[in-house]
Amino acid sequence: MRHFLDTQDFSKAELLELIELTRRLKAADRDGVALKLLADASLGMIFEEPSTRTRVSFEVAMTELGGHALYLKPGEIHLGVRETIEDTARVLSRMVDILMARTLRHETLLGLAQAATVPVINGLTDYNHPTQVVCDVLTMIEHAPPDRRLEDLRVTFIGDATNVLSSLMHICTRMGMHFTHAAPARYQPPQAWLAIAEANIRASGGSLRITDDVTAAVADADYVYTDLWWWVGQEDQIPERRAAFMPRYQVTMDLLRRAPAHCKFMHCLPASRGVEVTDEVMDSPQSIIYDQAENRLHTEKGLLVWLLYPRLPRPAASLREEHARRLQSYLEEVRPRA
What are the residues whose beta carbons fall under 8 Å from the beta carbon of 264, sequence distance 6 or more? 143, 222, 223, 224, 286, 287, 288
CA 307 to chain centre: 14
Domain boundaries, the chain: 7-128+293-311, 132-292
Active-site residue, from 3, 53, 102, 154: 102
Nearest to 67 by CA among 297, 298, 309: 309
176-177-183-184 Cα dihedral, nearest 10 degrees: 40
**Residue 30 designated active-site:** no
Q: Do 132-292 and 7-128+293-311 have the same topology in CATH? A: yes
- Asked if 227 and 124 count as a contact pair (C-beta separation under 8 A), the reply is no
pLDDT at 282: 98
- Asked if 37 and 305 count as a contact pair (C-beta separation under 8 A), the reply is yes
Active-site residue, from 135, 172, 263, 268: 268
Distance CA 24, CA 264 (A): 24
pLDDT at 338: 62
Active-site residue, from 129, 174, 178, 241: 129
CA 26 to chain centre: 16
pLDDT in tens, 149-167: 999 999 999 999 999 999 9
**Residue 227 designated active-site:** yes
What CATH number does domain 132-292 carry, 3.40.50.11600, 2.60.40.650, 3.40.50.1370, 3.50.50.60?
A: 3.40.50.1370
Active-site residue, from 55, 154, 296, 298: 296
Distance CA 45, CA 47 (A): 6
**Residue 132 designated active-site:** yes
CA 17 to chain centre: 16
Active-site residue, from 3, 55, 97, 132: 132
**Residue 191 designated active-site:** no
**Residue 129 designated active-site:** yes
**Residue 24 designated active-site:** no
Residues in the chain with pLDDT values less than 70: 338
pLDDT in tens, 88-134: 999 999 999 999 999 999 999 999 999 999 999 999 999 999 999 99
pLDDT at 251: 98
pLDDT at 38: 98
Distance CA 281, CA 220 (A): 18
Active-site residue, from 3, 227, 250, 286: 227
Instruction: Please provide the CATH number assigned to the domain covering 7-128+293-311.
Output: 3.40.50.1370
